[in-house]
Amino acid sequence: MQARHKLIIRQQLDKTLTSLKTANTQVPVKGWIRAIREALGMSGKQLAQRLGVSQPRIPRLEQDELTGSVTLKTMQQVAEALNCTFVYALVPRVSLEDTVRSQARLIAQDRIERAAHSMLLEAQPLSAEEQQATLKATIDELVREMPKELWEVKA
């Protein structure tokens, strides 16, 4: 995928995900399944009938949700039975663009430190202003080109 397409995708996702950042994603203490079921006045037996499972399965589902062992497929089925829409999302803590720029900064700093060491050995060190300009240019280049090694983990 070309770098400019990655940029467009990042920008579109950032715009879409902005609204999710402000959404209240705090899980109710008893979990979503039980909270919705109880708010609807639906018994565990009634939910079980709607799902086509045995009644003892409902407390287990509610517990699995709380422990994180419920599957996405099961949550989708329960949501349907409760006349809800199941929403699953990864919501970045900061914008995707900021995440990419932060990673690019790490790579750029590493590159510049290695180059600065070589230049120091050759008695050609960069001034602080030149180092900052080089850092900014390198970050911009990495963000623009999005090389595969941007996300490589160093051993």
CA angle 73, 75, 77 (to 5 degrees): 70
Structural domains for the chain: 1-21+92-155 (no CATH), 26-90 (1.10.260.40)
CA atoms of 155 and 153, how far apart (whole Å)? 6
Structure confidence at residue 6 as a pLDDT band (50, 70, 90): confident
pLDDT tens digits along 39-80? 999 999 999 999 999 999 999 999 999 999 999 999 999 999
Q: Copy the structure tokens of residue 29.
A: 């203490």
pTM across the whole model: 0.72
The pLDDT, as a whole number, for residue 125 is: 66
DSSP codes joined into one string, 27-48: PPTT-HHHHHHHHHT--HHHHH
